[in-house]
Amino acid sequence: MKTLVSRRSFLGMGALAAAGTTLMGLSGCAPRTQNAVNQEPEEAQSHPDWLGVPQQISESDVVSTVTADVVVVGGGNGGMFAAASAAEEGASVALLEKSGELGVNCREWIGAVGSKLQADAGVEIDKHEIVETLCMYASHRCDQRLIRLWADNSGEAVDWLNEVVRSHDPNAYVFFETDIGEGAHGIYKTFAIQHNVQSDEERLRSLDFVAAEIDKLGVDVHLHTTMLQLEQDDTGRVTGLFASTPDGIVKFQAAKGVILATGGYCGNREMMESLNKMAVDHCVALQSPGSSNVGDGIKAALWVGAAKDEQPTAMVFDRGGIPAGMKGGCAFDGRSFMMHIGSQPFLKVNKDGERFCNESTPYDFIYAAGTLERDGVYCQIWDANWLDHVAQFHTLACSRIIPSPTGGKAQIFTPEAEIGMIEGVLKPAGVVVEADTFEELAEKLQIPVESFVKTVERYNELCAKGDDEDFGKEASRMIALDTPPYQAATIGGQLLCTLDGLRVNTDLQVLDQDHDPIPGLYAVGNDSGGFFANNYPELLPGVACGRTITFGRLAGKTVAHL
């Protein structure tokens, strides 16, 4: 029986074994050698448990074959933009999505530079500055050329989206948000780059419009279709893949190339514990859309010899709420809740009842500061006037509770929805506690009463002075807690997605261990790497989604023109 899996499919495993199980992201893997190429599958060396091995697939296992110029794996932001652009360029496209719907995990905050909407608003972004800012956030553990690729092309991607949206619904449009506020003391700079799709009445899903465009362009969409592994020919070129469908295993042949857009691996606990252990140890919540992203694309690429980012990187928000007394590190335990109010700069104390940092620290950093405290979490306190305080805090992007004064509709919770979440979900679950005195509140939080009361008194004293002598929070956000009932919650990190992906070049080709392109293989979105490291810069609103749609669009064009 002839196997359909090339021996080169096992190439990556020998390289992985050479680096051992201590690798942090696999880029330290040994280069591929001819000996590794010639190994029989049963002779392949050991590999990390999470990686596994591709199954052996024979001719008789395949129930049908689909042929297309471009095969795109994943029907989210990156995959849908890739499929649309490839089809626009005249290529035949097969789009695979393992769920029953396109756009399930879509994101709607789109960061872009150079759009027509920005120009119309008189906003001009210094590309050198924003590129260098992103490199700084990554400690330059990134490919600056990829970041510049986003800066140079994201405006066009948004302009295209706006045309698509308007063509399908004249009442819908891409909105450009000019209300960006400022970082604390100007230290954490923000840029006016956020775009979203909306009507005058409500926020809309961009991918609903892209899905309509894909349908118009004749893209061959395959739902409930999960990629199993890639196929290579004897030269090492990726020629297609095998996928599991309700009817059995289907072979997808790609005449020009395969684009991976499966969304990273944050839903794969085994991969997370091996490759992104700090996020597992420190986060208390996993946002549900990410649970289906289990590393399909990354694992398939590693099996054919791809290289991956070294630095564990995840997008984490300060919005994981847990009942008092619990510790951090329970993201996969299903006992936590989304605490959108966690991103507001209210008074925060550790489990010793003491302040530990400036509460205006951006939400990609403050959760990290909290992981250094007792139990790896902290408590946030607000009073009966909290909505007035939130209006004065004036937070940005997806942390907004008070609607933007510009008319932008992009926000997760309105004040009414936030109140409903607190009263209807978080209080019954024991996540939000309430009391008329600080002493009683401390008891419910299970933290030292005397220390906590002393901290609140000191905080209120500094608020009266208008000068945070202890931690330097700006005066406009120093608002005393003096109106009962008081509420509080225990908060930790909320994991949204992983950002350490496959190494790619500026053509979005996946690179091997020698930094050479693997012919026929491309990656976008969270399957691709080289853009972020350490954490996600939240005050550059929408840059992750902006990168994803921009690179998806570029990859589709590139592969279509091969």
Q: Which of 137-151, 354-368, 428-442, 508-522 has the lowest mean pLDDT?
A: 354-368
Q: What is the mean pLDDT of residues 480-487?
A: 98
- Between CA 298 and CA 291 the distance in angstroms is 16
The one-letter amino acid at 434: E
Structure tokens at 235: 């030269």
pLDDT exceeds 80 at position 475 = yes
Structure tokens at 58: 């024979």
Torsion of CA 309, 312, 317, 323, to 10 degrees: 150
- Between CA 213 and CA 210 the distance in angstroms is 5
Residue whose pair of structure tokens reads 């009266």 in the numeric block: 464
Rounded to the nearest 5 percent, the helix, strand and coil shares of the chain are 35, 20, 40
Q: How many CA atoms lie within 13 A of 331 on its CB side?
A: 33
Query: Between residues 371 and 336, which one has the greater pLDDT?
Result: 371
Beta-carbon neighbour count of residue 384 at 10 Å? 14
- Between CA 97 and CA 79 the distance in angstroms is 9
Q: What is the mean pLDDT of residues 497-509?
A: 97
Q: Which of 40-54, 104-118, 471-485 has the lowest mean pLDDT?
A: 40-54
Q: What is the mean pLDDT of residues 505-516?
A: 98
pLDDT exceeds 70 at position 299 = yes
pLDDT band, very low/low/confident/very high, at 218 (cuts 50, 70, 90): very high
Peptide linkage before 485 cis (omega within 30 of 0): yes
Q: What is the pTM of this model?
A: 0.91
Its sign, for the CA torsion 54, 60, 66, 68, is positive
- Give strand ranges (E) for 205-346: 220-222, 226-232, 238-245, 248-260, 283-286, 314-322, 337-338
pLDDT band, very low/low/confident/very high, at 147 (cuts 50, 70, 90): very high
**Percent share of the chain, pLDDT over 70:** 90
pLDDT band, very low/low/confident/very high, at 330 (cuts 50, 70, 90): confident
pLDDT band, very low/low/confident/very high, at 141 (cuts 50, 70, 90): very high
pLDDT exceeds 60 at position 184 = no
Domains within the chain, CATH numbers bracketed: 1-312+501-562 (3.50.50.60), 314-495 (3.90.700.10)
Phi, psi of 137 (to 5 degrees): -55, -35
Q: In the prediction, which pLDDT does 33 show?
A: 28
**Percent share of the chain, pLDDT over 90:** 81
Q: In the prediction, which pLDDT does 30 show?
A: 30
Q: In the prediction, which pLDDT does 529 show?
A: 98
Q: Which of 240-254, 272-286, 478-492 has the lowest mean pLDDT?
A: 272-286
Q: In the prediction, which pLDDT does 289 show?
A: 58
- Between CA 166 and CA 168 the distance in angstroms is 5
- Helix ranges, 73-143 (H): 77-88, 116-120, 127-137
Q: What is the mean pLDDT of residues 416-432?
A: 96
Query: Between residues 34 and 423, which one has the greater pLDDT?
Result: 423
Q: In the prediction, which pLDDT does 474 show?
A: 92
Structure tokens at 94: 């097969």
Specify whether the CB–CB gap between 139 and 533 falls below 8 A: yes
Q: What is the mean pLDDT of residues 305-324?
A: 95
Q: Which residues contact 538 (CB under 8 A, 6 or more apart)?
A: 317, 362, 363, 364, 397, 399
Mean pLDDT of the chain: 90
pLDDT exceeds 70 at position 26 = no
Structure tokens at 248: 């059995």
Q: What is the mean pLDDT of residues 476-504?
A: 96
Q: In the prediction, which pLDDT does 181 show?
A: 66
Q: What is the mean pLDDT of residues 88-97?
A: 98
Listed residue (302, 323, 333) closest to 426, CA to CA: 323
Q: What is the mean pLDDT of residues 237-250?
A: 98
Q: What is the mean pLDDT of residues 516-532?
A: 98
- Between CA 424 and CA 445 the distance in angstroms is 19
